[in-house]
Chain A
Amino acid sequence: MALTQTSARVAGVRTVHYADSQDRWLPAVMVLPFLLAITALVIIPLLWGIRISFTNSRIIGRAFTEAFTLANYQSVLTDPDTWHSLYVTAVFSLGTVIGSIALGLVTALVLTRAFPGRGIVRTLIILPWAVPHVVAALIWQWMYNPNYGVVNYAIGWIPFVTSQPNWLSDPNLALPAIIILNIWKTYPFATLVLLAGLQSIPDELYEASEIDGAGPVRRFLDITLPGLKHVLAIVVLLLTIWSFGNFVFIFLMTQGGPAGATNTLVVKVYFEAFRFFRAGPAFAMGSLLLLVAVLLTLAYAFIVRRGKDA
């Protein structure tokens, strides 16, 4: 008995090995062009940038003739502006994640119910996601315009409100205004993924909990939320990564202003490098950003893999 089992196992391993060696190279060859492109366009510039961040170079392209120094990191980490930018970035990301997921979850819950025209609504809801960033920024810039924007026009309809805020020029309103834009742009994605998550929860679980005595609130807390846990983690991470790296909205609408109110880290890096031509500090900050992005991506990969095992 034990003997036959062992030989069966050995035979099994051999079969797998055969299939493996036959097509082992094909997938590798297929991804090779992509790997080369990634290396040339992403990995080499990244390493180059990291190298520059440890030099006093002001001009891109002379990195290897300069001496090694930690001065850039020192100046970046002691600069209060950096910490302010980190704060702005955190608020921007957190605001987007919370707003987008809350809105996305409500929309997804509504869309799981059958109602006339659901198919059309499901399609329309993706539109903001499909609009290019630049177009979205221009549309919203117009909407936020204090004189002829639709937002202030709408506010005019609210009784007893007379103020006409200058959304993008008011240091207290600029960041929330762009967060709202970013929520509008990203919540269709949250909706779609959460909708898929909701549909993967078997109806029987809801029925079982209903019979066990759970009301609507308990069913949401005990069945829906745990069922979405994995999907929610993925949405949170992806939205964080994207918000963290969002450059277009802020650059087009406020350029980091007013008074640095929307000066996120990526925008700051851009201005350091291409407006003030301080390559060293810019690359130092960029390298730190890269580190954060890598950590977030690793967390994402970890969650995806754990979800696959479960």
Chain B
Amino acid sequence: MSTARLEQLSKQYDGHLAVDRINLDIADGEFVVFVGPSGCGKSTTLRMIAGLERATGGEIWIDGKPANHVSPRDRDIAMVFQNYALYPHMTVAQNLSYALRLRNWSRADIDRRVTEVARSLDLAPLLHRKPSQLSGGQRQRVALGRAIIREPKLFLMDEPLSNLDAKLRVQTRAEITRLQRSLGITTIYVTHDQTEAMTMGNKIVVMNGGRIQQADTPQQLYQHPANTFVAQFIGTPPMNLLRCRLEPQDGAIVARGAGVNIPIRLESLTVLRPKIRDGEFLIGFRPEDIVMDPGAAGNGVTGSADVIEGLGHESLVSVKEGENAFIARMSPENAAPIRLGDRLSFSVNPDRLRFFSAESGEAIRVP
């Protein structure tokens, strides 16, 4: 049971800032997922929390105590590595019990605890095998077992699923989530896979270029991305972002750009206008928030079909118009008659429209 706090945490390598003054509060029992493209600083941050890398600036607090100068072995944390890092010459049982043996637990206590953990992870029949005799999924479970066996303050996981095949990854994802919820141990999990992040975390920290872009619940992240990076990083396919300007039309104000003609509500305008003045801005919407509507020509988004991808349960239609392009998610039945090059019109759910500054990429929140 424990909390963690990062204050202005930074890491500099030979003049390059890998992690740039990040601040984060992690509550007791929370499952926090760091997600971002490779090189965004997420693993470095995790390794600083573990004590494997020294912070070049800022503070790490674990359980309200400063941890910067505490060695990894004294931080009372457990870590699952990408390549599992199982001790190759030890059996599964020895791998599991290593930390306990180092802490001079009694033989009986160790045996009891190993049995418990082995049972909870289905490892009982494998206890006497060496890691080289295990499958990828089994090794993964041993690595998890080694982490949970001593009930640490913090659980750190560095891309633990990336070496598993797709099917096993989905299974293990659920397994880890279940385990974390039942043990209630504060967990920090690093991944580059946004699906993993969305399905597992209570709180997701999206990082890019060494900075936190947004730290929020999965729902908020998806519905209200803080900037265009988050909008495009979270969600497959990503949020559509189209360039447009505000223009008057028939006594109202519309957002107009290549293939875009969307009326803007008055209350939104009062916020939007001062921020963008008469310049360009980006209008954003998720692929599922538009509906094909042949009558919407002057009141939504239009363009010609460019690519059609059938996924079985749904179809993704890419539409292009001038400098703008967007993707529409629809049922296979609706997508069936569409041919490449067809002119398509969609109406947009006005509640789901998002606005971003064209220069900074920051979201402009409107009522």
Using a CB–CB distance below 8 Å, which chain A residues touch chain B? 202, 204-205, 207-215, 218, 222-223, 226-227, 229, 310
Contact = CB atoms under 8 A, between A and B. Distances in A.
Contact of B87 (A209, A210, A215, A310): A209
B61 interface: no
Chain A contact residues: helix, strand, loop or mixed: helix
A207 B103 contact: no
B73 A226 contact: no
Contact of B73 (A211, A223, A229): A211
Contacts of B81: 204, 207-208
Interface in B75-91: 75, 77-79, 81-83, 85, 87-89
Given A202-B85, A204-B81, A205-B87, A210 B102 contact: no
Contact of A310 (B83, B99, B102, B132): B132
Given A204-B85, A223-B87, A212 B52 contact: no
B146 interface: yes
Contacts of A212: 73, 98-99, 102, 146
Interface of B: 50-52, 71-73, 75, 77-79, 81-83, 85, 87-89, 98-99, 102-103, 132, 146
Contacts of B73: 210-215
A218 B102 contact: yes
29 contacts: A202-B85, A204-B81, A204-B83, A205-B85, A207-B50, A207-B72, A208-B79, A208-B81, A210-B52, A210-B71, A210-B72, A210-B73, A211-B50, A211-B52, A211-B73, A211-B75, A211-B77, A211-B79, A212-B98, A213-B99, A213-B103, A214-B73, A214-B98, A215-B73, A226-B87, A226-B88, A227-B88, A227-B89, A229-B89
Nearest to B158: A204
A226 B86 CA distance: 13
A226 B77 CA distance: 25
Contacts of A211: 50-52, 72-73, 75, 77-79
Q: Which of A205, A207, A310 has the most CB of B within 10 A?
A: A207
Contacts of B87: 205, 208-209, 222-223, 226
A310 B88 CA distance: 10
Contacts of B99: 212-213
Given A212-B73, A222-B98, 12 more contacts: A204-B82, A205-B85, A207-B50, A207-B52, A207-B81, A209-B87, A210-B72, A211-B51, A213-B99, A214-B102, A218-B102, A226-B88
A205 B52 CA distance: 12
Contacts of A205: 85, 87-88
Contacts, number: 59
Contacts of A208: 79, 81, 85, 87, 146
A211 B47 CA distance: 11
A229 to B, nearest CB: 7
Nearest to B78: A211
A218 B78 CA distance: 18
Contacts of B103: 213
Q: Which of A208, A213, A223, A226 has the most CB of B within 10 A?
A: A208
Contacts of A310: 132
A202 B52 contact: no
Nearest to A210: B72
Contacts of A204: 81-83, 85
Nearest to A215: B73
A212 B145 CA distance: 12
B89 A207 contact: no
A214 B132 CA distance: 23
A209 B87 CA distance: 9
Contacts of A202: 83, 85
3 residue pairs, one from A and one from B, having the closest CB atoms: A204-B85, A212-B99, A208-B85
B366 to A, nearest CB: 47
Contacts of B132: 310
A227 B87 CA distance: 9
A113 B75 CA distance: 25
Contacts of B79: 207-208, 211
A266 B212 CA distance: 72
Nearest to B79: A211
Nearest to B47: A207
Nearest to B99: A212
Contacts of B77: 211
A207 B366 CA distance: 48
Contacts of A215: 73
Contact of B85 (A207, A213, A214, A226): A207
Contacts of A227: 88-89
